[in-house]
Protein backbone atom coordinates (compact mmCIF):
# COMPACT_ATOMS: atom_id res chain seq x y z
CA UNK A 1 0.00 0.00 0.00
CA UNK A 2 0.98 3.62 -0.36
CA UNK A 3 0.79 6.66 1.86
CA UNK A 4 -0.02 10.21 0.81
CA UNK A 5 2.61 12.94 0.84
CA UNK A 6 0.76 16.09 -0.22
CA UNK A 7 -1.10 16.77 3.05
CA UNK A 8 -0.53 15.36 6.52
CA UNK A 9 -1.90 12.75 8.92
CA UNK A 10 -3.60 13.92 12.14
CA UNK A 11 -3.96 11.63 15.14
CA UNK A 12 -6.85 11.06 17.46
CA UNK A 13 -6.43 13.02 20.70
CA UNK A 14 -3.84 11.68 23.13
CA UNK A 15 -4.74 12.40 26.74
CA UNK A 16 -1.85 13.36 29.04
CA UNK A 17 -1.52 13.91 32.78
CA UNK A 18 1.39 15.59 34.58
CA UNK A 19 1.96 16.50 38.20
CA UNK A 20 4.02 19.45 39.50
CA UNK A 21 4.20 20.25 43.21
CA UNK A 22 1.03 18.21 43.85
CA UNK A 23 -0.90 20.11 41.17
CA UNK A 24 -2.44 18.04 38.41
CA UNK A 25 -2.19 19.26 34.83
CA UNK A 26 -3.93 17.41 32.02
CA UNK A 27 -5.11 17.89 28.50
CA UNK A 28 -5.23 16.45 25.01
CA UNK A 29 -2.63 16.65 22.26
CA UNK A 30 -2.89 15.78 18.59
CA UNK A 31 0.09 14.51 16.62
CA UNK A 32 0.89 15.42 13.05
CA UNK A 33 2.84 13.24 10.62
CA UNK A 34 3.95 14.83 7.34
CA UNK A 35 5.71 12.61 4.82
CA UNK A 36 7.84 13.75 1.91
CA UNK A 37 9.89 11.53 -0.41
CA UNK A 38 12.71 11.04 2.13
CA UNK A 39 11.56 11.93 5.63
CA UNK A 40 8.64 11.93 8.04
CA UNK A 41 8.24 15.18 9.96
CA UNK A 42 6.23 15.31 13.17
CA UNK A 43 4.77 17.88 15.50
CA UNK A 44 2.10 18.10 18.18
CA UNK A 45 -0.65 20.61 18.90
CA UNK A 46 -3.21 20.91 21.65
CA UNK A 47 -5.76 22.74 19.51
CA UNK A 48 -6.51 21.46 16.00
CA UNK A 49 -7.76 24.89 14.95
CA UNK A 50 -4.17 26.15 15.36
CA UNK A 51 -2.47 23.68 13.03
CA UNK A 52 0.10 25.35 10.81
CA UNK A 53 1.72 22.83 8.51
CA UNK A 54 3.77 25.50 6.71
CA UNK A 55 7.41 25.26 7.68
CA UNK A 56 7.14 21.82 9.30
CA UNK A 57 9.82 20.54 6.90
CA UNK A 58 12.22 23.20 8.20
CA UNK A 59 12.07 21.83 11.76
CA UNK A 60 14.51 19.30 13.16
CA UNK A 61 11.71 16.94 14.23
CA UNK A 62 11.93 14.26 11.59
CA UNK A 63 12.60 10.60 11.06
CA UNK A 64 13.48 8.33 8.19
CA UNK A 65 10.80 5.96 6.98
CA UNK A 66 10.38 2.83 4.90
CA UNK A 67 7.22 1.22 3.62
CA UNK A 68 6.82 -2.57 3.83
CA UNK A 69 3.61 -3.87 2.21
CA UNK A 70 1.00 -2.60 4.70
CA UNK A 71 3.27 -1.00 7.32
CA UNK A 72 5.34 2.17 7.65
CA UNK A 73 8.43 2.01 9.86
CA UNK A 74 9.70 5.38 11.10
CA UNK A 75 13.10 5.66 12.76
CA UNK A 76 13.84 8.82 14.75
CA UNK A 77 17.50 9.61 15.51
CA UNK A 78 18.57 6.68 13.33
CA UNK A 79 21.89 4.96 14.00
CA UNK A 80 22.36 6.67 17.36
CA UNK A 81 22.00 5.44 20.92
CA UNK A 82 18.74 7.42 21.07
CA UNK A 83 17.13 5.72 18.08
CA UNK A 84 13.38 5.22 18.39
CA UNK A 85 11.37 3.09 16.00
CA UNK A 86 7.63 3.39 15.44
CA UNK A 87 5.53 1.14 13.25
CA UNK A 88 2.24 2.20 11.71
CA UNK A 89 -0.20 -0.08 9.93
CA UNK A 90 -1.54 1.28 6.65
CA UNK A 91 -5.28 0.60 6.77
CA UNK A 92 -5.79 2.65 3.61
CA UNK A 93 -3.93 5.58 2.03
CA UNK A 94 -6.12 7.82 4.23
CA UNK A 95 -5.79 5.98 7.57
CA UNK A 96 -2.77 4.84 9.61
CA UNK A 97 -2.86 2.98 12.94
CA UNK A 98 -0.02 3.25 15.46
CA UNK A 99 1.18 0.60 17.90
CA UNK A 100 -1.56 1.55 20.39
CA UNK A 101 -4.30 1.37 17.75
CA UNK A 102 -4.63 5.17 17.66
CA UNK A 103 -5.88 6.35 14.31
CA UNK A 104 -4.16 8.96 12.14
CA UNK A 105 -6.37 10.36 9.38
CA UNK A 106 -5.14 12.09 6.24
CA UNK A 107 -5.91 15.79 5.85
CA UNK A 108 -5.78 17.38 2.40
CA UNK A 109 -3.53 20.45 2.03
By the 8 A CB rule, do 9 and 108 touch? no
Calculate mean pLDDT across residues 75-101.
93
Residue 72, burial from CB neighbour count under 10 angstroms (0-12, 13-18, 19+): buried
For residues 64 and 39, what is the distance between their CA atoms, to the nearest angstrom? 5
Which of 108, 104, 84 shows the shortest CA–CA distance to 95?
Answer: 104
pTM: 0.86
The pLDDT tens digits of the residues spanning 4-28 come to 999 999 999 999 999 999 999 999 9
Amino acid sequence: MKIKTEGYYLSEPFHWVDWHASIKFEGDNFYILKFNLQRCFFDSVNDITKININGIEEKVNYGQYKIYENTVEIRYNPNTEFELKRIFTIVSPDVLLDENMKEYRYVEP
